[in-house]
Amino acid sequence: MSEHYDAIIVGSGAGGGTLARHLAPSGKRILLLERGDWLPREPQNWDAGDVFVENRYISKDTWYDGEDKPFQPQVHYYVGGATKLYGAALYRMREEDFGDLRHHGGLSPAWPISYAEMEPYYCKAEQMYEVHGSRGEDPTEPPASAPYPHPAVSHEPRIAALSDAFAAAGLHPFHAPCGVMLNEANTPYSACVRCSSCDGFPCLVHAKSDAEVLGVRPALEHPNVTLLTNAEAVELRTDATGRQVTEVVVERSGGEGNGAAGNEGAGKSVRETFTADIVVVSCGAANTAKLLLRSVSDAHPKGLANGSDQVGRNYMFHNSQAVLAISKEPNPTVFQKTLGVNDYYFASDAWEYPMGNIQMVGKSVAPMYRGEKPLMTKLAPSFSLQDIAEHAVDFWLSTEDLPQAENRVTLDKDGNVRLAYKASNNTARDRLFEQLRSLLGHLGMHEHHLVPRWAYLENKIPVAGVAHQAGTCRFGSDPASSALDSDCKAHEVDNLYVVDTSFFPSISAVNPALTAMANALRVGDHLLGRL
């Protein structure tokens, strides 16, 4: 048995890494457990072939879909979690997303807290993650009590022209909120060099606002915080009443053996047990469900905190589409993710239901296409991959998928994740796609699907694209229909909390990370009152 801590945080991503930094100045003894290692800093960080074709930073895990077909989930087990690879589009949810919202596909249920309760924490999260943005441009923007801490990242010329064209078509394009440490007013001192390898890549120069750089590293400056890497929590044990987690069982694999503090078990696999007054789980939506479901005991026969049978259910990950338009003029944009359009986010003149959010995604380059077969077979015969790359304008369309009990994580008999998922709100997704397509002629793009001049491609995100995973442990006021209370404490356990995106009862149509960060700060304030 190892020493006792005030708090153990399991998982160091957007939720866990943020919470660790928030709790660190308290002087309380905090143990941060991370199943992955530090993400190596190496030239391959910025190599599209290594990252997108060879999947260098994707876990080797095998999960199974609803038909029991194996797949390799696009999850990232590193200090900082998925934020190491994320696109750092750091959006607030809209005020209306916190209430019931009627969609074509059904109801997006209300959260047990209001936007007003989350607002101060959004401000703090924007400060901590150095968000760049511009208030007042996006008509759906929720009220904010402070300006963005940094000015918006500027558009490059093709994206500025695109923004003008959206505006000329009567829409309200805005500068997307962005977590890169770019100082355009003083470029010699800018950490970010504005490169083309951001969205989906790790940042070689540590200038992306990720949870390693701005969560874990600042937390570790405090001597009371300990990080163990290559340390996978495999079970949470409780006392006989089932109301207190008493032990966190950890498998330490040793990883690469870099000799860093906390990695001294390199090369060996050992099982250890840690104890703490408070245990916070933040493993990502699927892995949090896995950890709770495998923590079976007499007091919790269906898995820890799962008396309601809600753990693992209501998995969501957005009904997203990565779409690629072909610009008539070349698109030499380096950093493309600077623009958003929310005119179709809610019911509008265009449709009586919400469709979703339009934003840019990292600029595609030729080596990426080799990893995406549909693109190659549709366009390559008549348009070289290089031609496509030079003219591609890449959009990301996010439609809200709705929580459904049967979309769920369960474990097979060997303890592997089984992820059953059927898309919802498909009509809204298709309308958003058609809406953008109908605008292409106004945007300086080729209008039709046909190759070569009229090229336009769509690539729906399959179940393996778990980047925006959420749900599985939703918070709510009714213990019969939620696993967590409004402080993200398990209804059935007095010292167990969850702060990753598992707690989302609905996912909205904006990217989830800032909400996970803000909520970790909110729960962190509650924990500081307890510790």
- Catalog residues that contact ligand FAD under the rule CB under 6 A: 10-16, 33-36, 76-78, 81-83, 85-90, 200, 232-233, 282-284, 287, 291, 467-468, 500-501, 511-514, 516
Q: How far is the CB of 337 from ligand SF4 (least distance, A)?
A: 9
Helix (H, G, I), strand (E, B) or coil at 150: strand
Is 208 buried (19+), middle (13-18) or exposed (0-12) by CB count in 10 A?
buried
Contact with ligand SF4 (CB under 6 A) among 195, 260, 350, 464: 195
Q: To 10 degrees, what angle do helices 115-128 and 14-23 make?
A: 80
Count of chain residues binding ligand SF4 (CB under 6 A): 13
Of positions 75, 162, 180, 225, contacts ligand SF4 by CB under 6 A: 180
Given a contact cutoff of 8 angstroms between Cβ atoms, the answer to whether 330 and 390 are in contact is yes
CB-wise, 38 or 201, nearer to ligand SF4? 201
DSSP, res 477: S
For ligand FAD, give the closer residue by CB, 231 or 355: 231
- For residues 11 and 505, which CB has a smaller minimum distance to ligand FAD in the complex? 11
Q: Which is nearer to ligand SF4, 209 or 319 (CB)?
A: 209
CA 404 to CA 507: how far, in whole Å?
12
Nearer to ligand SF4, 225 or 514 (CB): 514
406: which residues sit within 8 A by CB, 6+ positions away? 313, 420, 422
Q: Which stretch binds ligand SF4 (CB under 6 A): 192-200, 222-230, 401-409, 465-473?
A: 192-200
Q: Does 205 bind ligand SF4 (CB under 6 A)?
A: yes
Nearest approach, Cβ of residue 202 and ligand SF4 (Å): 8
CB of 339 to ligand FAD, least distance (A): 13
Closest residue to ligand FAD in the complex (CB): 13
Q: Please, what is the minimum distance in Å from the beta carbon of residue 210 to ligand SF4?
A: 9
H/E element, 43:
none
Choose between 57 and 353: whose C-beta lies nearer to ligand FAD.
57
Cβ pair 387, 407 in contact under 8 A: no
Q: Site mask, ligand SF4, residues 316-335, x = CB under 6 A?
A: -------------------x
Residue 180 near which of ligand FAD, ligand SF4, none (CB within 5-8 Å, type-dependent): ligand SF4
Residue 355 near ligand SF4 by CB under 6 A: no
What does 203 bind: ligand FAD, ligand SF4, none (CB cut-off 5 to 8 Å by kind)? ligand SF4
Phi, psi of 526, deg, nearest 5: -60, -45
Provide, rounded to whole angstroms, the least separation between the CB of residue 368 and ligand FAD. 12
CB–CB of 25/379 below 8 Å?
A: no
Nearer to ligand FAD, 233 or 420 (CB): 233
Q: Is there binding between residue 197 and ligand SF4 (CB under 6 A)?
A: yes
Which of ligand FAD, ligand SF4, none does residue 207 bind to, with CB < 5 to 8 Å depending on kind?
ligand SF4
Window contacting ligand SF4 (CB under 6 A); options: 203-211, 250-258, 353-361, 515-523:
203-211
State the binding partner of 283 from ligand FAD, ligand SF4, none, CB within 5 to 8 A by kind.
ligand FAD
d(C-alpha 328, C-alpha 453), whole Å:
8
524 contact partners, CB below 8 Å, separation of at least 6: 18, 19, 22, 23
Chosen from ligand SF4, ligand FAD, none, partner binding at 208 (C-beta under 5 to 8 Å by type): ligand SF4
Minimum Å gap between C-beta 454 and ligand FAD is 30
Contact 229, 79 (CB under 8 A): yes
User: Which is nearest to 276 in space by CA: 298, 296, 250?
Assistant: 250
Tell me the C-alpha distance between 406 and 183, whole Å.
Answer: 46
Choose which of 193, 260, 347, 350 interacts with ligand SF4 (CB under 6 A): 193
Return the structure tokens found at 77: 């087990």
Contacting ligand SF4 within 360-399 (CB under 6 A): none
Between the alpha carbon of residue 132 and those of residues 89, 175, 444, 525, the distances in Å are 10, 9, 27, 25
Long-range contacts of 67-73 (CB under 8 A, 24+ apart): 68/412, 68/418, 71/462, 71/463, 71/464, 72/464, 73/286, 73/417, 73/419, 73/464, 73/466
Minimum Å gap between C-beta 346 and ligand FAD is 20
**Residue 83 in the binding site for ligand SF4 (CB under 6 A):** no
- In whole angstroms, give the CA distance from residue 368 to residue 317: 23
d(CA 177, CA 152): 7
| Residues in contact with ligand SF4 by the rule CB under 6 A | 180, 192-195, 197-198, 201, 203, 205, 207-208, 335
